[in-house]
Amino acid sequence: MEINLAKKRIQLTLFIDEQDAMAIENIRRAFNPVQYALIKSHVTLCREDELEQISIVKKRLAALQHHSITISFGPLIRFSEGKGVLMPAAGRNEIFRQLRTVILQGITGHIRNHEPHITLMHPRNSSCTDELFEQLQTIKLPDQVTFKKISLIEQEAGNNWNVLEEFELIHAQKKFS
């Protein structure tokens, strides 16, 4: 399947703040410079196929009264025949799922279970080796990241992703029992 690079793509993204992203960005800059140049480290909240009714999504985001969310991350894993490397979220990530539901409820017939993760090496433009993976596992990476805003981003014709709008989350962590 070919990717149509002439097409505009949009996503909702949770960017990692600079302090939490330092070690992640160092890895991306060294071992995945193409992806590093295209977009900062992030967790994708909603993909373009979920955002076809973007005007409704934007209204919901503007009225959103959701707390900032903290995602815990587990050990690095390889994917895509071992070429890619990502930091998978650990645990159930119920707050992430709730945020997706608030945004997408009634827009899509089925809200899929999207697992949050941070991609360190994208297999489209990098390739991990066994030796490199061992090296990456020794680097201290954040166990948790708190996200305080949602960014609506756009990519046109395979160029860099650009932020179109940002929506603040409430900065107190909501507690669930």
Residue pLDDT, tens place only, 83-132? 999 999 999 899 999 999 999 998 877 899 999 999 999 999 899 999 99
Q: What's the pLDDT at 1?
A: 33
Q: Give this prediction's pTM.
A: 0.89
Q: How confident is the model at residue 35 (pLDDT cuts 50, 70, 90)?
A: very high
Q: Report the domain count for the chain.
A: 1
In a domain, 177, yes or no: no
Classify residue 134: in a domain, yes or no. Answer: yes
How large is the average pLDDT for residues 19-40? 95
Full domain range(s) for residue 153: 8-168
Sequential DSSP letters for 107-121:
TSSS---PPPEEEEE
DSSP labels, 119-175 = EEE-TTT----HHHHHHHTTS---SEEEE-EEEEEEEETT---EEEEEEEPBSSPPP
Q: Which residues contact 113 (CB under 8 A, 6 or more apart)?
A: 97
